[in-house]
Amino acid sequence: MGIVIPYSDLARQHQLNLLEHKRREYREREDYLAHLRKLLFKIEGQMRQAEILQLQVFRDLAENFKIPLAFPDLGDRIGLQEIFTENPFLANLVAYLGGRLTPEECHRKIIDLRAEGRDQDR
C-alpha cells in the first residue's frame, strides 16, 4: 500500500515549486533586460557621437562662410530643433545636404544671407 501524503503538504510543495519557477523566470527576464540596457547605452553613446559630428559639419561650414552660429547645449533637443527651423543658414544647408538644392543654389543663398547680415549691421 502507498503512503498517503496530506493535501497541505502537496499544496505547500506546489506553491514552493511555483515560487521557484517564477523566480527563475524573473531572473532570466531581468538578465535579458540588463543586457539590453547595456546595449542601448552603447548605442545611445554612438548616436550622440554621430550627432556631434553632424553638428560639426554645420559649424565648419558656418566658420568657412563667416556666418555667426551658436548652437544650444547638446542636451537641449528642443533648442536644437528650433535653431534648425528658425535659422535660414541652417535651413539652407539642411535643404542642400538633403539633396533639395544644387551646390550653386546653396552657395547663392549663403552669399545672399551674408549680404543681408551685413546690411543689418549698418
Cα–Cα nearest to 77, from 69, 85, 67, 66: 85
Examine residue 18 and state whether it is found in any structural domain, yes or no: yes
Domain count, the chain: 1
Give the closest residue to 101 by CA, choosing from 112, 90, 93.
93
* Poorest-pLDDT segment among 5-14, 50-59, 110-119: 110-119
On whether residue 39 sits in a domain, the answer given is: yes
pLDDT digits (tens, 9 = 90+) for 54-98: 999 999 999 999 999 999 887 788 999 999 999 999 999 999 999
Task: Identify the burial level of 93 via C-beta atoms within 10 angstroms of its C-beta, where 0-12 means exposed, 13-18 middle and 19 or more buried.
Answer: buried
**2 is a domain residue:** no
6 vs 2, which has greater pLDDT? 6
Q: Which domain holds residue 31?
A: 7-121
The pTM for the full model equals: 0.69
Angle of helix 7-64 versus helix 88-97 axis, rounded to 10: 110
